[in-house]
Amino acid sequence: MATNNPCKVVTGPRTRWAYCNVWEPKQPLNGGRPKYSVKLIIPKDDMETVTAVDDAIRAAQDEGYKRLRGDDAYVPSFGEIKWPVQDGDAPGLRNAQDYAGCWLINANSDNAPQIVDAHMRPVIEHSRVYSGVYGRASISFYAYNKGGGKRGIACCLHNLQLIKAGEPLATRSDAQHDFGEE
């Protein structure tokens, strides 16, 4: 879906969500402020979303030129900066079976995202949002320079639209299976 902001993307409805920290902010592993976050799992064959993400990342790099340049006046090339997108087919990924044939994007925000269903009604039942559901995400990309050579493009989470339930990903189990009669 097109927006007026070249750095903003609304993903397609086949995007899956994982590690959904969308109700309460969670402290990042490396410290810092607690953030709302979600891992977006985008099928590689969703070319409309994949192309929009690629274009938005390039626009973020162009808009963030001065920020990426830093004090040393060196601007890293597109291949030298940290990317917000990870290949789900890369070796060594935890839960790799859930990510095969997909691109992964970690999106986060200081602000809670609005979460609506396919009919634009607010989703208030926390149990409806779990690792494995399908939905669209409104995200944007921006350049950062944390100093010490830590430069890159990051992804900001705006809003989520829950489209449909999905098979829970490997990180979730069924209580009946875990505790059922022997």
Tell which residue, 108, 140, 114, 143, has the closest CA to residue 35. Answer: 108
How is residue 109 written in tokens?
A: 């925000």
Number of H helices, E strands in the chain: 3, 8
Beta-bridge partner residues of 35: 26
Stated pTM of the model:
0.86
pLDDT of residue 63: 82
Q: How many CB atoms lie under 10 A from the CB of residue 139?
A: 28
pLDDT of residue 165: 94
List of residues 6+ apart from 20 with CB closer than 8 A? 38, 129, 130, 131, 133
Alpha helices in 37-111 (DSSP H): 47-63, 65-69
Contact 85, 103 (CB under 8 A): yes
The domain 8-179 is classified under which CATH number: 2.40.50.100, 3.40.640.10, 2.40.50.140, 3.40.50.620?
2.40.50.140
Give the residue ranges of the chain where pLDDT is below 70: 1-3, 66-81, 147-149, 170-174, 181-182
pLDDT of residue 35: 96
